[in-house]
Amino acid sequence: MPLHGNGWRPTRITRYIRGFATAAGTALVETDAGEGYLKAQGNPEGPHVLACELVGSMLADWLGLPTLDFALVEVTVDVEIPFHKGGHATPGLAFISKAEPTGFPWSGTPKELRRICNRVEINGLTVMDTWVLNCDRYAPDDRRRNLDNVFLIKHPDGVGLQLKAMDFTHAFTCGGDINRRLGFIEKIQDVRIYGLFPEFRDFLNREHVRNFSARLGQFSLTVAEEIISRVPAAWQVDQPIRSVWATMITQRAHFIADRIEAILWPQMELEGGTE
């Protein structure tokens, strides 16, 4: 399973442009393939957020969501990359996503959501975030509302917008370490919905959710293991934990596939109705 990227393959970083006050110390850099947003080793939250970002992005691609083009790129000693909150990126493999010149974060208004041409992906993003327990877009019970992680780009027609799935650094562990707790039953069978902004509700469609659930039900341990195998050894996820992680992703995929429709529309389930 190759990295998603539509042929985007930066091989070296040529210049640091600026940093951002994000948890992972994201930096905008120039590469030999254009500008990109870099998340590197040495960041304030450690290497496991990079592993979550890579695995989450590949899972989103597998589910069929449009993602930002992404790749792994080597940070070398000849280009200094400071973090916004202090410190510097350390040499080694880093995660990078291609910069979108017309991209911008959602303002939080339903009006802007109505301009999205691929609104089916609102359903997919909710399924995806729930699957991977992504607490850094919209966390259950309104504990976190991060508009910056709803990324829109201008449609080529100049009028509409396109939604892109991005930023999975806080999937699975909410920024914590990747460890054996991933295998705990409360993780695998968490029935809370993630990623569902109240403004998204009017754009949910039961048939679309059912289609994404059907895809999720096809997920296998083999695919999980293949994706996790792409996590660089330097990001400090050892083999026993990789096995726990792969099992958790697979078991949770089937758990959510079987239940998310009923969780999103509980009253209709009770009444035996359909949308």
* Minimum mean pLDDT range among 30-34, 102-106, 152-156, 177-181: 152-156
Q: What is the mean pLDDT of the chain?
A: 93
Structure confidence by residue, pLDDT tens digits, 236-271: 999 999 999 999 999 999 999 999 999 999 965 544
Name the pLDDT band for 142 (thresholds 50, 70, 90). Answer: confident
pTM of the model: 0.94
Q: Compute and round to an integer the Cα radius of gyration of the chain.
A: 18
Provide mean pLDDT across the span 4-28. Answer: 89
Q: Tell me, what's the pLDDT at 176?
A: 94
Q: Tell me, what's the pLDDT at 5?
A: 53
Structure confidence by residue, pLDDT tens digits, 39-55: 999 999 999 999 999 99
